[in-house]
Amino acid sequence: MPTILADSFTASLAKLTNDEQKQAKLTAFDLQTDPNRPGLQMHRIDASKDPNFWSVRVNRDIRIIIHKSGDSVMLAYVDHHDDAYKWAERRRIETHPRTGALQIVEVRERVEEIALRPELPPQTELPFQVTPPPAANDLPLFASLSAEDVLSIGVPPDWVADVRDASEETFFALAGHLPQEAAEALLDYAATGTLKEPAPADTAPLEHPDAQRRFRILEGHEELAAALDQPFEKWAVFLHPSQRALVERDFSGPVRVIGSAGTGKTVVALHRVARILRQDPIARVLLTTFSEPLAAALNHKLRVLLADEPALKERVVTSSFQRSAAELFSLITGRRPYIISPDQVRTLLREAAEVSGLARYTPQFLLSEWQHVVDAWQIGTEEAYAAVPRMGRKNRLGAKQREELWAVFSAVREQIRAKAMMTESDLFTAVADHFQSRGDKPYTHIVVDEAQDLGVAELRFLQAIVPPQPDALFFAGDIGQRIFQQPFSWKGLGVDIRGRSFTLKVNYRTSHQIRRMADRLLPANVRDVDGEEDQRKGTVSVFDGVDPTLVLAPTQQDETVAAAAFLERLLSDGIGLNEIGMFCRSNQELPRVAQAAELAGIETTSSLAGRNAKEAVLIGTMHLAKGLEFRAVLILACDEGVLPLSSRIEDVADEFELDEVVATERQLLYVAATRARDHLFISAVAPGSEFLEDFLQN
């Protein structure tokens, strides 16, 4: 008999104590083995309108709620006795009359009253807190939709009238009672004014895409064990239909998944790896991202996803771009690569310019030209430098200037070679050159996370180490979170994702309030160099929370006091130290962060490993925040001159680079702010960064 696992079961299981969870899992196994076994003490829930709900005894207090129909049993919910019964009395399971998807419907007449903003404790204002103008939020949102429109997106008939009366103020409380596809479609409508096309109702109720995200059919004990072992990792079991489509589709070329922070791009990348390994028994996959700590985090998640298929894991390598190149380099040459630092390059450039009598070129210009043109594009000859288009750069260089500059750059190249060192780009290029024309490639597939920070040489490298087959390259990333690399044409390098770039729109991480505020930092549309558009408008969060706190303090001391008060509030709300991250722009401001933590009397750590090892708040620069996630985030010292960082502004070589620097600094703040799930605190000493003004606009 098939067992159906509902996401409401895994969510309720996660709320029990460890012992209760263990016992509930054992009962679930017994149930799967023999649903008629007398020890299970099944009782029909008589007060439920749905006659198929039954309770199953786990122990004196805990009950599992199952739903029996035909020859299948659904694990629907688990809780303490009275709460479990109450849940079942208020629910029925049915096929939606329009969409045809199976739904667990909350019975409207059993819901006494919908609280406007439940579970939000009153918040006292912190000193020097500034509040954005309130949005008009009591206007009806869906009044112009007909009842038929509302039904068409999967709102259960019981709830149609409530939806049509809802305002922004009441909507999130109401959304908690609706099936997720309906809540998302309504939010999407509120954001864009367009109602999503209903999915065709030509599948069985359980196979409908909207049903697949909340129900999973499990065939045997092993599958049930695997699914129940990860009750906190809902993403590992239940995917949004738009995520599932990207995981499962076959593509005719390289693919890119984009979407703003928290929309589940990493989740899709991980499932894609699992899918490739399951489908292709000889696949060897590289799962890669831009830093080792992030690669370690990906590796951990992949282990969760492949928990019951450990053999698959043996065919995946998870490492950063640089480390994967360094390992291949060692394999090819038998020696380690020695990478020269940017500071060393800067010194070499200055010395070479002095020797050539070209000290009139500023060190900033020389370094920028080296990094973004000569080294990035691996220019090796004077002729190649004379011909390079120097895309986007405003200060044109004539033939004469290029000729004299080439003397500097070629001297620096010589120096690096003489030291038996290489730049990162040299490393990527050396490995790419080796594999370019060979038939035997180290990997069959590459899945890239944080792909927006790939540079020219990295992309060439990745392309060279897989065979030229259609689905070999899969990229996930957010153009709006690019903080390291300058943009360039992927198409120009032969990676053509046109027609295969897909945007995820449902934000699972960040509350509605935090996402809305962070979104103000970036334009509604971002276009890449190849003209592919990332429509950021219309992204919806799946839950509601408290407004972010913005503090503009007169002095650093006042800022410290406000941040410490915020920390104390978090702790008294029961938020654990490991669930908090504190960030600032650069190492220079770190003492300010540490001071606030000290005033609040809390332990801190500056390493991800330290965060896992002990109960402590992670503190670091915004770059460290990338790819991470916290219940609460504090960003301090967003002062004028700090954000954008004045030393970077002073270093720019031309107007093009100035625009780039300001954009990436803005994106950095966006990255840090979107790490927060429930609570966000941003502070500065007045007048504060120019970016903070964006937050205050409506």
Nearer to ligand ATP, 246 or 563 (CB): 246
* Binding of ligand ATP by 545 (CB under 6 A): no
Q: Is 67 exposed, middle or buried (0-12, 13-18, 19+ CB in 10 A)?
A: buried
CB of 191 to ligand ATP, least distance (A): 18
CB of 514 to ligand ATP, least distance (A): 12
Pattern 479-498, ligand ATP, x by CB under 6 A: --x-----------------
Choose the stretch contacting ligand ATP; rule: CB under 6 A; options: 16-24, 99-107, 222-230, 232-240: 232-240
266 labelled binding-site residue: yes
Q: What is the C-alpha separation between 685 and 650, in angstroms, rounded?
A: 22
Give the residue, chosen from 548, 581, 627, 644, that forms a contact with ligand ATP under the rule CB under 6 A: 627
* Binding of ligand ATP by 180 (CB under 6 A): no
Amino acid in position 83: D
Nearer to ligand ATP, 629 or 639 (CB): 629
Nearer to ligand ATP, 519 or 639 (CB): 519
Count helices and strands in the chain by DSSP H and E runs: 29, 25
DSSP 683: E
CB of 277 to ligand ATP, least distance (A): 19
Three-class secondary structure of residue 568 per DSSP:
helix
* Binding of ligand ATP by 559 (CB under 6 A): no
Pattern 580-619, ligand ATP, x by CB under 6 A: ----------------------------------------
CB of 259 to ligand ATP, least distance (A): 6
Residue owning tokens 């282990």: 303
260 labelled binding-site residue: yes
* Binding of ligand ATP by 674 (CB under 6 A): yes
Pattern 431-470, ligand ATP, x by CB under 6 A: ----------------------------------------
* Binding of ligand ATP by 235 (CB under 6 A): yes
CB of 235 to ligand ATP, least distance (A): 4
Nearer to ligand ATP, 257 or 495 (CB): 257
CB of 122 to ligand ATP, least distance (A): 28
Nearer to ligand ATP, 350 or 631 (CB): 631
Cis amide linkage into residue 38, ω under 30° from 0: no
DSSP 104: E
Three-class secondary structure of residue 129 per DSSP:
strand
Nearer to ligand ATP, 96 or 214 (CB): 214
Give the residue, chosen from 10, 103, 266, 485, that forms a contact with ligand ATP under the rule CB under 6 A: 266
What token pair was written down for 490? Answer: 């992927």
Q: Which residues of 475-497 are buried (b: 16+ CB within 10 A; e: fewer)?
A: bbbbbbbbbebbbbebeeeebeb
173 labelled binding-site residue: no
Nearer to ligand ATP, 319 or 674 (CB): 674
Q: In terms of Cα–Cα distance, which of 37, 29, 94, 27 is closest to 61?
A: 27
Nearer to ligand ATP, 597 or 628 (CB): 628
Q: Which residues, numbered 318-357, are part of the site for ligand ATP (CB under 6 A)?
A: none
Q: Which residues, numbered 199-218, are part of the site for ligand ATP (CB under 6 A)?
A: none
- Which ranges of 34-143 does DSSP label H, i.e. alpha helix? 81-89
Nearer to ligand ATP, 207 or 382 (CB): 207
265 labelled binding-site residue: yes
* Binding of ligand ATP by 275 (CB under 6 A): no
Pattern 278-307, ligand ATP, x by CB under 6 A: ------------------------------
Q: Which residues, numbered 236-265, are part of the site for ligand ATP (CB under 6 A)?
A: 238-240, 243, 259, 261-265
Pattern 508-527, ligand ATP, x by CB under 6 A: xx------------------
Walk across the sheet containing 129-130 and list its strands.
129-130, 549-553, 676-685, 630-635, 580-584, 617-621, 604-605
* Binding of ligand ATP by 181 (CB under 6 A): no
- Which ranges of 60-113 does DSSP label H, i.e. alpha helix? 81-89
Q: What is the C-alpha separation between 436 and 274, in angstroms, rounded?
A: 27
261 labelled binding-site residue: yes
* Binding of ligand ATP by 272 (CB under 6 A): no
Phi–psi pair at 683, nearest 5 degrees: -135, 160
CA atoms within 13 A on the CB side of 12: 23
Cβ proximity of 160 and 147 under 8 Å:
yes
User: Over 436-451, what HEC string results?
Assistant: HCCCCCCCCEEEECCH
* Binding of ligand ATP by 267 (CB under 6 A): yes
Nearer to ligand ATP, 378 or 674 (CB): 674
CB of 678 to ligand ATP, least distance (A): 12
* Binding of ligand ATP by 234 (CB under 6 A): yes
Phi–psi pair at 662, nearest 5 degrees: -65, -40
Q: Which residues, numbered 61-80, are part of the site for ligand ATP (CB under 6 A)?
A: none
Choose the stretch contacting ligand ATP; rule: CB under 6 A; options: 82-90, 234-242, 302-310, 463-471: 234-242
262 labelled binding-site residue: yes
- The neighbour count for residue 531, using CB atoms within 10 Å, is 9
Nearer to ligand ATP, 268 or 353 (CB): 268
Cis amide linkage into residue 337, ω under 30° from 0: no
79 bridge partner residues: 63
CB of 215 to ligand ATP, least distance (A): 14
Q: Among positive and negative, which fits the CA dihedral 393, 396, 401, 406?
A: positive
Q: What is the C-alpha separation between 106 and 88, in angstroms, rounded?
A: 9
Cβ proximity of 540 and 240 under 8 Å:
no
Q: Among positive and negative, which fits the CA dihedral 510, 86, 81, 68?
A: negative
Number of residues in contact with ligand ATP, rule: CB under 6 A? Answer: 21
Nearer to ligand ATP, 23 or 543 (CB): 543
Q: What is the CA radius of gyration of the chain?
A: 28
Query: Strand 506-507 relative to strand 540-541: parallel, antiparallel, unpaired?
Result: parallel
Q: Which residues of 237-260 are buried (b: 16+ CB within 10 A; e: fewer)?
A: bbbbbbbbebbeeeeebbbbbbbb
264 labelled binding-site residue: yes
- Which ranges of 334-440 does DSSP label H, i.e. alpha helix? 342-355, 363-369, 382-387, 399-418, 424-436
Nearer to ligand ATP, 237 or 374 (CB): 237
* Binding of ligand ATP by 478 (CB under 6 A): yes
Instruction: Please enumerate, by residue number, every residue annotated as part of a binding site for ATP.
Output: 259-266
Positions at the binding site = 259-266
Q: Which residues of this chain interact with ligand ATP, rule CB under 6 A?
A: 234-235, 238-240, 243, 259, 261-267, 478, 481, 508-509, 627, 629, 674
